[in-house]
Chains A and B, each alone.
Chain A
Amino acid sequence: MTSASPTTYRLLGGRIPYIEGPLKVTGRAEYTDDIQRPGMLVGRLLRSPWPHARLRSIDTSAARALPGVFAVLTGEKYPTPFGVLPITHDETAIAVGKARYIGDIIAAVAAADERTAERALSLIQVDVEPLPEYSDPRMGVTPVTEPIHARGLLGSNIQKEVVQHFGNVDAAFAHAAHSVRVRGNFAGVTHAFTEPMATIAEATPDGRLTVWSATQVPHYLHRALSEVLGWPMHRIRVIKPEVGGGFGGKSDPLPHEIVCAALSIETGRPVKILFDREDVFYTNHGRHPTQNDVRIAADADGRILGYDIEALIDGGAWSSFGTVTTYYNGVLAMGPYRVPNFRYRGRRVYTTKPPSGAMRAHGGTNIRYSVEVALDMLAEKLALDPFELRSRNALPPNSKTVNEFRITSTSFLKCLEAAREKSGWDAKFRQLPYGRGVGLGCGFYISGSNSPIHFTPKMPQSTVHLKVDMDGGIAVHSMQADIGQGSNTLLAAIVAEVLGVDLDRVHVQRVDSDVSPVDLGSYSSRVTFMMGNAARAAAEELRAKLVAAAGSLLERDPETLEVAHERIQEKGHPEHGVSFLEALHRAMESTGALTASGSYNSRPMGGAFKGARAGTAPAYSFAAYVAEVEVDDETGEYRVLKIWAAFDCGRALNRLAVEGQIEGSIHMGLGQVMAESMNYRGARLFNPSLLEYKIPMPQQMPEVEILLVGDDDPEGPFGAKEAGEGPLIATLPAVGNALYDAVGVRFTDLPITPDKVLKGIDLRRHEGRSWKGR
C-alpha cells in the first residue's frame, strides 16, 4: 500500500526493524528476572484462599523464628491506600482488615532462598471470619450485608455509576422507523503476556531505594512507592528493564511491587519477587466480564437517531482503572458514527474476584461488539448493505460528537472502501454457500488519553531529553516504556529523521527515573502520538544548534541551510556543506556536549459536564475489518479464513511495527471472540494456567491483509496516530457478523465456542428459521 500523503521521509514510513531485535533474538535482552544483585533475598507472598474474609489475627511468630527468614510483613505496617487513579485509592500493599478475593496478598516473607520462604509462608497462622462471597455483579447493585469496600455506593458494591444523556433519546426512539437491540454477555479475558511479573528492590545505606520492575508505567509506580512507603520521590529510583509484554496488565502500580520495596527496606538487602503463572492469573487486571444492553434507533434511510445503552461491569476486588472503564463502555460506543442522541447508564460493581482493569482496547471492545452486531441487524432490517449503512453514518473529519469529542482526522470512509473492495465483499455477502460467511466490523479508539491521571504538579504528558557529545552518539532519555511495541525504535527513528543521521548514532537509554524525564508510559495508546511529538521537538531544538554551527563554518545564514543525510548543506547547493560531526564539533566548542529537551502536552478539550474528559483524545484511530469464516455445522467448530484489516493510524511511521500491532491485535481479538475466558465457579477462578486458558494456536491464525489508508493527522508526529489498541476492536464483531452470514445465528455471548455455535444452529432449526433470510 502507498501512503495517502505526498511527503516522504528518509526513515519514517519505511520498515524499521526493532533496534533491540538483535538482543532479543539472542537471549541477551535483560528482563527483570535476569538481574542478580549481591546478597539478594527471595520474596514470597501468602495469598488468601478465601474470597472474602475478615482477618481476625495473623500469627507470624513461627515464620519469623525459622532460620533463613529475614522479614515477615503483614498489612498494618504500610496501610496507606493506593491505586492507579487518585480518586479511587482502595488497595493496600498487603490486605488490612480483610481479604477480598482468592489471591489477595495477606502476608509477605523475605528469606535466604525459595524453599525457606515457602516453608515460612506455611508457618503463618491466619484466623479469619468468612464473609459473604459476591461473585456476580448483580448481587451487589443493591445494599448488601457486608460491602466489599466501605466506599461502595450507598452500602452496595457499586464502585462507579455513570449516567449520561445527550439530546433526547426517548424522542429519537419514538420517531424512529426502526430499532434494534442486542444484549451482550462477555466473559472476562486476561492479558497472558509471556513474562510473569517480576520486581527487584534494593534499599541501600545511602538512604535510597532502587526498584527494577516489569512495568508499563514507571512514573505511576514511582508515585505509588513514594505514597505508600512515605519516602520522597527523589530518594526512590525506578528502573524499567525490558518488559515481556503488558497489554495493560502491567500498567497499574501493583501491590507486590510495593511489598518488594518494603521487604528490602525491612531487611536492608536486595529482594526479588518473581511471579509464577498462577500469581499472574490471580493478579489479573484483565478485561472486565460485562453484560451490556444496546438499543439503536434509526430513520427509514438507516441514519442513526440514537443509542440507549446500559452496561453492568464486573470489577473484581479493586477499582483499578474502573472509573475510566465505566465511562468508556458508554462513550466509546459512538464513533466512528454520528449519533445525535445518546443515553448511557453504566455500573461497575465490586465482586470478590481477581480485579479487572485495563486490557488492550480498554473499555472499547465489549460495547463495540454489541453495537456492530446491532448495526448488522439494522442493515438487514433495512435491506441495506452493512457497508452502505456505515457510510451513511460516518463522522466527518473536523467534527464533534454529541458528547463533545473533537474529531480531527478520520479516514473511516477510506477504510470502508478498502475493506469492501479488497475482500470481494459484493460477490460474497449473503451469497456464499451455507457454512461460509463474511462479516463487517468497525471501530475507533483514542490516540492517547487527553487527561493525564495525575494533575499535580502540572507538567507535560511526555518529555524527551537528548545529549550528544564529541563521539557523535546521541543519547535519548525518556520515561516512555517500550513493552515490545517498538516505541524505542520509533523514538530513535524520529530523532534520526530530524537530524538526518543514521539510526545507529541514536542510543535510547533504559528508563531510569534518576535520568529519564517523565513520560506517562505505555497505556491509552498514547506513546507514538505524545512521545513522538516530544521527540520531534527535542530533535528540532538540537538541529537548530547544529545548523547554526554549520552556518558559522560555512559563513552562511542558517536559514539558507538544510539537513541532509549525515550532513548539513546549503539549499540548492548541496556541494556547500559540512558533515554532521563537523557541525557538532563547532557547536560544542564552548559548551561541551549539546543537550536539548522537547515536550508534548495535548490542548484542553471536552465539554463542561461531569465526566466530560473521559474518552477525549487529541486524535482517534479508525478501522473497518472484514472476516471470512467457515463453520462445520456438525461440530460447531469454525475457522477464520482471512481478515481484511483496513486501518487509519494516520501515517504509519514504522510499517513493520504497525503491521505487527495489527496482526497481534487480531490474534488477541480472535482469542476473545473464539475461545478465551476466565472461568469462575462462584468466586473461584478455575483455569489459572496457559493450558486451560485457551489462546489461539499458530494454526488458528488466519491470513491477514493489512490496508493502511490513513491520511496524515494534523497534530500527530509526522501525521501519525495510534496503532496499538484500536486494531483489536473490529476483529470481534467482524467474526460475529461473519458467523451470522454463514449459519444465520446471532451470537451475543462471548466467547463463541463450538458448543454455542451448535446450540445456536439447533435452536434456529428448531424454530424453523431459515438462514440468510432466504
Chain B
Amino acid sequence: MPPLDLLRFRLNGQPVEVACESPRVLLDLVREDLNLTGTKRGCDLGTCGCCTVLLDGRPTLSCLTLARLVEGHEVTTIEGVTPPNGLSPVQRAFVEHGATQCGFCTPGFVVTATALLRDVPHPSRAEIERAISGNLCRCTGYRKIVDAIEATGRETGR
C-alpha cells in the first residue's frame, strides 16, 4: 500500500482532516473519499474541464492536482458554490438560458463562471470565451453558456 498523508485543508468553507494515499489526485479525494459527486470525471487527463474546482479561488483541474498539494489551502467544489437553498445567480441563468443539456460538464462550467464573475463582474463575450476555453461542452455549442454568463454579469450589481 502506498503511504498515507494526513491532509488538513478547508473544503467548501469547513476545515477537513483526512487520511489520503500519497499519489491520490484531488478529484479522487473529493469524489471517492469525501463523496462529493458534483465534481465530474470526464477524462482524467486535464482535457475536458468537467472536474474543475476552485483552489484558493482559482479554477483548477482536480484530476491533475495531487491531493497532498492542497494541504493548508482552500478547495471549493460545485457544492461549495451552491447556496444552501436555491441557486446562485449564474446557476439560475444557466437554467433559464438552456445552458445545460446533458449536464455532465455543467458543474465545471459553473465553477469556472463563478470565479470569472467574481474577478470580472461584467465580462465581455470574448472574456467569457477565454475563461471557459478549458471546459468542453459537446451539447450546447457554447452559445447559451456564454449567454448565461453574460446575462449574469449584466443583471448583477451594475
Residues of A within 8 A of B (CB): 15, 17-18, 20-31, 33-34, 36, 191-196, 242-247, 274, 276-277, 483-486, 656-657, 659-660, 663-668, 689-691, 695, 697-699, 701, 704
A-B contact pairs, 11 of them (CB 8 A): A17-B96, A23-B103, A193-B138, A194-B102, A276-B43, A277-B43, A485-B101, A656-B98, A689-B43, A690-B43, A690-B45
**B43, A191: Cβ atoms closer than 8 Å:** no
The answer to whether B78 touches A26 (Cβ under 8 A) is yes
Contact A20 B47 (CB under 8 A): no
Does any Cβ of A come within 8 Å of B68's Cβ?
no
Point out the residues of chain A lying under 8 angstroms from B129, CB to CB.
Answer: 697-699
Q: How far in angstroms is the closest Cβ of chain B from A560?
A: 39
Instruction: List A contacts of B102 (CB < 8 A).
Output: 193-195, 242-246, 483-484
B57 at the interface (CB under 8 A from A): no
B interface residues with partner A (beta carbon < 8 Å): 35-45, 47-48, 50, 77-79, 82, 87, 91, 94-98, 100-107, 110, 126, 128-130, 132-133, 136-146
Contact A27:B79 (CB < 8 A) given known A277-B43, A691-B45, A699-B129: yes
Instruction: Decide yes or no: A657 and B98 within 8 Å by CB, A31-B40, A194-B137, A689-B45 being known contacts.
Output: yes
- The interface residues of chain A lying within 8 Å CB-to-CB of B87 are 22, 25-26
Beta-carbon contact of A18 and B100 below 8 Å: yes
In the bound assembly, the distance between CA atoms of A486 and B38 in angstroms comes to 20
Let me know if B100 and A24 touch, CB within 8 A: yes
CB-based contact B45/A27 at 8 Å: no
- Closest B residue, CB atoms, query A16: B98
CA distance A697 to B106 in the complex (A): 16
What B residues does A30 contact at CB under 8 A?
37
Q: Which 7 A-B pairs have the closest CB atoms?
A: A27-B38, A484-B102, A244-B104, A24-B103, A667-B141, A21-B95, A663-B141
A29 and B103 within 8 A (CB):
yes
Whether A247 lies near B143 (C-beta < 8 A) is: no
A247 cross-chain contacts in B, Cβ below 8 A: 138
B101:A25 contact, CB within 8 angstroms: no
Q: Is the CB of A668 within 8 A of B138?
A: yes
Bound-complex Cα distance A266 to B143 (A): 48
Assembly CA distance A29 to B141 (angstroms)? 21
Most A CB contacts (10 A, CB to CB) among B37, B87, B133 go to B37
Cβ-defined contact, A25 with B94, below 8 A: yes
**Which residue from chain B places its CB closest to the CB of A19 in the assembled complex?**
B95
In the assembly, what is the distance between CA of A697 and CA of B98, in Å? 19
User: Within 8 Å CB of B91, what residues of A?
Assistant: 22, 25-26
Q: Determine if A698 and B100 form an interchain contact, defined as CB atoms under 8 angstroms apart.
A: no
Q: B98–A660 contact, CB under 8 A? A: yes
Given contacts A25-B100, A276-B44, A698-B129, contact A245 B139 (CB under 8 A): yes
Bound Cα distance from A26 to B40, whole angstroms: 12
Q: How far is the CA of A704 from the CA of B147 in the complex (A)?
A: 13
- A107, B29: Cα distance in complex, Å: 29
A21 with B100, Cβ < 8 A, contacts A34-B37, A690-B45, A691-B45 known? yes
Q: How far is the CA of A664 from the CA of B42 in the complex (A)?
A: 19
Cross-chain contact A194 with B40 (CB below 8 angstroms): yes
Q: How far is the CA of A485 from the CA of B143 in the complex (A)?
A: 16
Chain A residues, CB < 8 A from B77: 27
Q: Which residues of B contact A243 (CB under 8 A)?
A: 102
Q: Is the interface of A mostly helix, strand, loop or mixed?
A: loop
Residues of A with C-beta under 8 A to B146: 698
Task: Indicate the member of A24, A30, A486, A690 with the most B CB atoms within 10 Å.
Answer: A24
Chain B residue at smallest Cβ distance from A662: B141
Complex alpha-carbon distance, A663 and B143, angstroms: 7
- Report whether B38 and A26 are in contact in the complex, using a CB–CB cutoff of 8 Å: yes
> CB distance A33 to B140 under 8 Å?
no
Best-surrounded residue of A20, A21, A274 (most CB of chain B within 10 A):
A21
Given contacts A36-B35, A243-B102, A245-B139, 18 further A-B contacts (CB under 8 A): A17-B95, A22-B91, A25-B100, A26-B38, A27-B40, A33-B37, A191-B138, A194-B48, A244-B104, A245-B104, A660-B98, A660-B144, A664-B138, A666-B141, A690-B47, A691-B45, A695-B136, A698-B129
CA of A27 to CA of B53 in the docked complex: distance in angstroms?
A: 12
Q: In the bound complex, how far is the Cα of B47 from the Cα of A689, in angstroms?
A: 8
Q: Tell me, in angstroms, the Cα distance from A23 to B86 when the chains sit together.
A: 10
Q: Which B residues touch A276, using CB under 8 A?
A: 43-44
* Residues of A contacting B142 in the complex (Cβ-Cβ under 8 angstroms): 667, 698, 701
Known A-B contacts A26-B91, A27-B37, A27-B79; A194 and B141 likewise in contact (beta carbons under 8 Å):
no
Residues A21 and B94 in contact in the complex (CB < 8 Å), given A193-B102, A242-B103, A484-B139: yes
Whether A701 contacts B138 by the Cβ 8 Å rule is: no
**Contact: B47 with A691, CB < 8 Å?**
yes
**Please, which residues of chain B bring their CB within 8 A of the CB of A196?**
41-43
Known interface pairs A25-B110, A660-B98, A689-B45. Does A194 touch B104 (Cβ–Cβ under 8 Å)? yes
Set of chain A residues within 8 Å of B133, measured between Cβ atoms: 697-699
- Asked if B38 contacts A194 (CB within 8 A), the reply is no
In the complex, are the beta carbons of A18 and B141 less than 8 A apart?
no
Query: Which residues of A are found within 8 Å of B132, using beta-carbon distances?
Result: 698
A22 to B138, CA, bound (A): 20
B42 surroundings in chain A (CB, below 8 A) = 194-196, 277, 690
Chain A residues with CB below 8 A from B95, complex form: 17-18, 21-22, 25
User: Which residues of chain B have C-beta atoms less than 8 A from A31's C-beta?
Assistant: 40, 104
A24 neighbours in B (Cβ, 8 Å): 100, 103, 106
Give A480 Cβ to nearest chain B Cβ, in Å: 15
Most buried by A among B38, B97, B100, B130: B100
B111 nearest CB neighbor, chain A only: A27
Shortest CB distance B123–A (Å): 13
Q: A486-B101, A699-B129 are in contact. Are A25 and B138 (CB under 8 A)?
A: no
CB distance from B60 to the nearest CB of A (A): 16
- B94 engages A663 (CB within 8 Å): no
Interchain nearest-CB distance for A336 vs B (Å): 24
Cα of A665 to Cα of B133 in the assembled complex, Å: 19
Report chain B residues within 8 Å CB of A699.
Answer: 126, 129-130, 133
Contact present for A27 and B107 (CB under 8 Å): yes
Task: From A26, A697, A698, give the contact of B82 (CB < 8 A).
Answer: A26
**Closest A residue to B44 using CB positions:** A276
* Cα–Cα, bound, A733→B106 (Å): 31
The complex places the Cα of A17 from the Cα of B36 at a distance, in Å, of 26
Docked Cα-Cα span, A193 to B136, in Å, equals: 9
Chain A nearest CB, measured from B12 CB (Å): 12
Q: Which B residues are CB-close (under 8 A) to A28? A: 38
A residues in contact with B97, CB < 8 Å: 656
Given contacts A20-B103, A26-B91, A244-B103, contact A659 B98 (CB under 8 A): yes
A191 to B104, CA, bound (A): 14
Q: In the complex, are the beta carbons of A18 and B98 less than 8 A apart? A: yes
Q: Complex formed: what's the CA distance from A667 to B139 in Å?
A: 8
A584 to chain B, nearest CB (A): 29
Cβ–Cβ < 8 Å partners of A21 in chain B? 94-95, 100, 103
User: Distance in Å from the Cβ of B48 to the closest Cβ of chain A?
Assistant: 6
The residue among A27, A665, A666 with the most chain B CB atoms within 10 A of its own CB is A27
Which residues of B have CB within 8 Å of A244?
Answer: 40, 102-105
Nearest B residue (CB) for A486: B101
* Shortest Cβ distance from B79 into A: residue: A27
A486 contacts across to B, CB distance below 8 A: 101
From residue B46, how far is it (CB to closest CB) to chain A in Å?
8
Report Cα–Cα, A697/B94, bound state, in Å. Answer: 19
- Nearest B residue to A245 via CB reads B102
Query: Is A690 a contact of B41 with CB atoms below 8 Å?
Result: no
Closest B residue to A196 using CB positions:
B42
| C-alpha spacing A329/B38, complex, angstroms | 41
Whole-angstrom distance between the alpha carbons of A246 and B102 in the complex?
9
Q: Which of B126, B136, B141 is the one whose CB lies under 8 Å from A701?
A: B141
